[in-house]
Amino acid sequence: MAKPDSRISRALRSVRHSLFSVLLLAGCPSLTRAVAQDRHEFTAVHMGVPVRIVMYAPDTASARGAARAAFARIAALENIMSDYRPRSELRLLAEQPREWVPVSPELLAVLNRAVEIARLTGGAFDPTVGPLVALWREARRAGRLPDKAALARARERVGWMLLSVDVERRQVRLAVDSMQLDLGGIAKGFILQEALTALRAHGVSTALVEAGGDVVAGDAPPGQLGWEIEVAGADDEVTARARILSNSTIATSGATEQFVEIDGVRYSHVIDPRTGLGVTGSHVVTVIASDGALADAVATAAGVLGPGSAAMLSGRFPGMVLGFRVPVP
């Protein structure tokens, strides 16, 4: 396929002390298409970060309409899945332990994925990790490890097997009192994927949605093999695959600016469910997978398990690409 004459390069993200950045190099529209497709771009803040939509559409009006629908979908899902909003469906669910609670199709879908990925990652990804996240936030503020008794109490309320999802009856059950669900490691990817679906429903399938370093790509731009995403510091396989991303997704986790150092050890904001404490180690993991929820959650799990886990995870998630790197300070 012919190379585009010129490229538009834009830093999608340069974060975490410049440890990681993603560049999107989108090609020019092909002249061979029957219907001219122009590139359109929209940004709005959701989930605490700028969400960017890039799309090819025949005119500005249809592009705007599609973007509006996608952002509305994102906002609606954020309302359901937020652990910060006291009235979110997720929070209300946690207030009804030990009984089957009917849930929305969206919450059912994301919780079902979360439990499935928790099982396949041996619990490294755990959507019930909320009490430990809360304790760890306190520890980070205080600059010391959580009290042993408090840690033990929190751990009694954590464990993905305490969360049951009944897909047929569309209901969910939390097995013990005072559980806290936290979808921080999967919701972003899930929601970006849903945004892409909303764009499709508006007739726009050549699109990319990106937020906080997670990228969900639809069909390739006109005349291109795929969206050209550059992941700074990535290995050859990730680099090659990200260069021609279409109908696929990328997520990153690890070595963030959200670390804390206690007694000379650096801990991340991601919890290792095996210890109940923040993950140690400075690796960054990039995952390329078929959908946003999967990439996001497995990136979190791989960050917990470390580089030694790559082979095991690749075996359990066929077609997935995992790349670990240790950023240069």
The residues of the shown chain that bind ligand ADP, judged by CB under 6 A, are: 125-127, 129, 133, 182, 184-185, 188, 212, 253, 256, 269-271, 273, 296, 299-300, 303-304
Report CA torsion sign: 271, 276, 280, 283.
negative
Q: Which does 210 bind (CB under 5 to 8 A by kind): ligand ADP, Mg ion, none?
A: none
Instruction: Report the residue number, 224 or 256, with the smaller CB distance to ligand ADP.
Output: 256
Q: Which does 78 bind (CB under 5 to 8 A by kind): Mg ion, ligand ADP, none?
A: none
Instruction: Return the half-sphere exposure (C-beta side, CA atoms, 13 A cut-off) of residue 145.
Output: 16
Q: Tell me if 249 contacts Mg ion by CB under 5 A.
A: no
173 strand-pairing partners:
164
Considering the complex, what minimum distance in angstroms separates the CB of residue 247 from Mg ion?
Answer: 20
According to the 3-state scheme, what is the secondary structure of 210-229? Answer: EECCEEEECCCCCCCCCEEE
Ranked by CB distance to ligand ADP, the top (closest) residue is 184
Considering the complex, what minimum distance in angstroms separates the CB of residue 151 from Mg ion?
Answer: 23
Q: Which does 182 bind (CB under 5 to 8 A by kind): ligand ADP, Mg ion, none?
A: ligand ADP
Site string for Mg ion, 253-272 (x = CB under 5 A): x-------------------
Sheet containing 8-15: which strands, arranged edge to edge? 8-15, 20-26, 228-231
d(CA 166, CA 171): 5
Considering the complex, what minimum distance in angstroms separates the CB of residue 26 from Mg ion?
Answer: 25
**Selected binder of Mg ion within 249, 296, 317, 321 (CB under 5 A):** 296
Considering the complex, what minimum distance in angstroms separates the CB of residue 133 from ligand ADP?
Answer: 5
d(CA 120, CA 160): 11
Instruction: Report the residue number, 29 or 185, with the smaller CB distance to ligand ADP.
Output: 185
Beta strands in the chain (DSSP E): 8-15, 20-26, 38-46, 49-57, 101-102, 163-166, 171-174, 207-211, 214-217, 228-231, 248-254, 260-262, 265-272, 277-280, 284-289, 321-325
Instruction: Report the residue number, 58 or 307, with the smaller CB distance to ligand ADP.
Output: 307
Q: Which parts of 185-214 interact with Mg ion (CB under 5 A)?
A: 185
Q: Which does 304 bind (CB under 5 to 8 A by kind): ligand ADP, Mg ion, none?
A: ligand ADP
Closest CA to 289 of 165, 117, 75: 117
Instruction: Report the residue number, 214 or 228, with the smaller CB distance to Mg ion.
Output: 214
Name residue 26's amino acid.
A
Total count of residues recorded for the chain: 329
Radius of gyration (C-alpha) of the chain in whole angstroms: 20
Instruction: Report the residue number, 151 or 321, with the smaller CB distance to Mg ion.
Output: 321
Q: Tell me if 300 contacts Mg ion by CB under 5 A.
A: yes
Cβ neighbourhood burial of 61 (10 Å; 0-12, 13-18, 19+): exposed
Considering the complex, what minimum distance in angstroms separates the CB of residue 79 from ligand ADP?
Answer: 17
Q: Which stretch binds Mg ion (CB under 5 A): 45-53, 235-243, 252-260, 320-328?
A: 252-260
Q: How many CB atoms lie within 10 A of CB 284?
A: 24
Q: Which does 286 bind (CB under 5 to 8 A by kind): Mg ion, ligand ADP, none?
A: none
Binding-site size, Mg ion (CB under 5 A): 5
Binding site residues, Mg ion, CB under 5 A: 185, 253, 296, 299-300
